[in-house]
Amino acid sequence: MSTTNQALADWVKQVAELTQPDQIYWCDGSEAEDQKFNQMLLDDGSYKQLNSETHPNCYLHLSDSQDVARVEHLTFICTQKEVDAGPNNHWMDPAAAHDKIDALFAGCMKGRTMYVIPYCMGPIDSPIARCGVEITDSAYVVQNMRLMTRMGQAALSRIEQEGGFVKGLHSTGELDPNRRFIMHFPEELSIKSFGSGYGGNALLGKKCHALRIASYQAKTEGWLAEHMLILGIKTPAGKQHYVAAAFPSACGKTNLAMLIPPEGYLKDGWEISTVGDDICWMRPGEDGRLWAINPEAGFFGVAPGTAKETNPNALAMLYQDTIFTNVAETADGQPWWEGLDDRTPQTDWQGRPYDPANGPAAHPNSRFTVSAKRCPSYSAESESATGVPIDAIIFGGRRASLVPLVTEARSWDHGVLMGATVASETTAAATGAVGVVRRDPMAMKPFCGYHFGDYWGHWVGMKNQANKLPKVFTVNWFRKDEKGQFMWPGFGENMRVLEWIIGRCDNQLGANETAIGLLPSSQDINTKDLGMDLSVLDELLKVDKSAWKDEVTSVEGFLRNYGSRVPGELFRELKEIDDQLS
């Protein structure tokens, strides 16, 4: 297999001359190829076959112990002007970056095969989708990209028709942490990653392309590439809605993406479907709404904590056709991780006999890679070329106090301010002082490929491109009482908040005007069968004016960190909140 795209052919030739592989293999995405690669990984010890009765076609991969997570301090945005990368990114001059990493790539594939992976982020026939090609020397990466993207001949055909594509070059190198870089060149639509085999650093279609490069593409082309889930909600009346939601880590994102409503909602006829759990690309449609696709085809999820009680839909996916990375293994060859059940594993994530003295059996960032089609709540609309129309955008943080259960923005600009200043409080001593507020704008802090001020300006400017923009909300499932107990039950009960949000989108439910936005009355939240004291709900919906004055001061200081590129609309919205608090 080769290509009629001359730019692609030339680039593959240049990479081969630099890296000097023994052979070049073009991936076609076929079932036969999948089986061949699985056998190859079993034969060379990269894979271990798991119990074929309980987990057919499932494999365990154990990575190098120093290569288990994203490495943000070694991740660079390489723009011609340093200011364009912004204070939210590590910057390196593009010419210097190419020289530094190409010196590592020189000859690195000697004795190895160079795999060429054409892929499409999004449905192959979607105008919102974008294509890329990853060159790698890792068959493990090929198999993960097979599940996470639309990969192979169909993607190559689209590249040959369109001409353009994102270039991604990857090598595991020697897996030396001191010889490891992940470089992004937004102005060139290219990525170079060396020295890591971990998903976020090596599956270049994921965070590297679908967020860092795509966010820059989206700015220049007039759309949005966001770190958001996409959830379908159908009312008992049969009306279909879609929401996109951004949550920093440890804020319940995956649980919301695969939410199972309370029994009463299911009996009443509410239906939930999952379009995506992590990334959302939105483009203005001819009807003035934002239309969204999930650019990914699979889930690359964190295993620990995934259990029947916490996320039954996620667990149900993982019994066949799954790659497990850095989990533990039971005596009968089943994957295991903390929080799954009360069994004791036989071996840990480093392949050693399990000993609690060595720490957790599964690495805390151990992963599963699985096709999205295996999810019980999978939506067929995930393959829709037009995408789905977004009715609401939700931003969530983790605040023990201050932030109400749910708040609706007064306007699009106010909603951008809410997203730009969403925050979580540190919850464990391991991360330093407990209760420190850390802001993670739109949950994009590690993933925005350019200056946050310009990014917020691009968000503000969407109101000039679409006249039926989604309503914007913030949620906070994590308020605590004076005893330190969570006040809201969370998980499936979050459906009750979604019901109010949908009611607001349909102009069927009321809201109270407050200084910080529109809030429901406690009677507007369905508490049937919840057993919650309404006084607790009143507290969850209260606005503490004095505390919010302090928050305004904190938010203003945060925005000032990004200098003159912060759009004036955000400061105007903040002043309006401050004035109403006075």
- pTM higher than the cut 0.95: yes
At residue 192, the pLDDT reads 98
Residues 217 and 240 placed together within one structural domain of the fold: no
Residues 259 and 346 placed together within one structural domain of the fold: no
Cα gap 304→338, rounded to integer Å? 5
Residue 517 has what DSSP assignment? E
Residues 207 and 314 placed together within one structural domain of the fold: no
Residue-number span of the structural domain to which 340 is assigned: 298-374
Please tell me the total count of domains within the chain: 3
**Phi-psi region for residue 356, left (φ > 0), alpha (ψ -120 to 50) or beta?**
alpha
At residue 1, the pLDDT reads 66
Residues 335 and 311 placed together within one structural domain of the fold: yes
Query: Domain end: 222, 251, 273, which one?
Result: 222
Cα gap 571→388, rounded to integer Å? 32
Query: Domain end: 311, 339, 374, which one?
Result: 374
Tokens of 115: 């795999």
Residues 191 and 266 placed together within one structural domain of the fold: no
Phi, psi angle pair for 214, to nearest 5°: -65, -35
Among 214, 219, 180, CA closest to 197: 180
Among 335, 300, 344, 316, CA closest to 60: 335
From the annotation, which residues make up the binding site for substrate?
A: 70, 198-200, 249, 365-367
Angle at 169 between CA 168 and CA 173, to 5 degrees: 145
At residue 433, the pLDDT reads 66
At residue 427, the pLDDT reads 57
Residue 57 has what DSSP assignment? T
The letter for the amino acid at 258 is M
From the annotation, which residues make up the binding site for GTP?
A: 250-255, 367, 398, 491-494
- CATH number for position 333: 2.170.8.10
At residue 432, the pLDDT reads 56
Query: Domain end: 222, 239, 264, which one?
Result: 222
At residue 263, the pLDDT reads 96
Phi, psi angle pair for 393, to nearest 5°: -115, 130
pLDDT in tens, the chain (582 residues): 689 999 999 999 999 999 999 999 999 999 999 999 999 999 999 999 999 999 999 999 999 999 998 899 999 999 999 999 999 999 999 999 999 999 999 999 999 999 999 999 999 999 999 999 999 999 999 999 999 999 999 999 999 999 999 999 999 999 999 999 999 999 999 999 999 999 999 999 999 999 999 999 999 999 999 999 999 999 999 999 999 999 988 788 989 999 999 999 999 999 999 999 999 999 999 999 999 999 999 999 999 999 999 899 999 999 999 999 999 999 999 999 999 999 999 999 999 999 999 999 999 999 999 999 999 999 999 999 999 999 999 999 999 999 999 999 999 999 999 999 999 986 553 445 667 889 999 999 999 999 999 999 999 999 999 999 999 999 999 999 999 999 999 999 999 999 999 999 999 999 999 999 999 999 999 999 999 999 999 999 999 999 999 999 999 999 999 999 999 999 999 999 999 999
From the annotation, which residues make up the binding site?
A: 70, 198-200, 207, 227, 249-255, 278, 365-367, 398, 491-494
- CATH number for position 253: 3.90.228.20
Residues 270 and 344 placed together within one structural domain of the fold: no
Cα gap 377→266, rounded to integer Å? 13
Out of 251, 280, 375, 448, pick the active-site residue: 251
CB 76 within 8 A of CB 92: yes
Stretch (H or E) spanning 194? strand 190-194
Is residue 174 included in any domain, yes or no?
yes
Residues 258 and 319 placed together within one structural domain of the fold: no
The strand pairing partners of 184, in sequence order, are: 77, 191
Is residue 55 included in any domain, yes or no?
no
Is residue 140 included in any domain, yes or no?
yes
Is residue 417 included in any domain, yes or no?
yes
From the annotation, which residues make up the binding site for Mn(2+)?
A: 207, 227, 278
Residues 260 and 197 placed together within one structural domain of the fold: no
Among 425, 421, 420, CA closest to 399: 425
Is residue 58 included in any domain, yes or no?
no
Known active-site residue 505: no
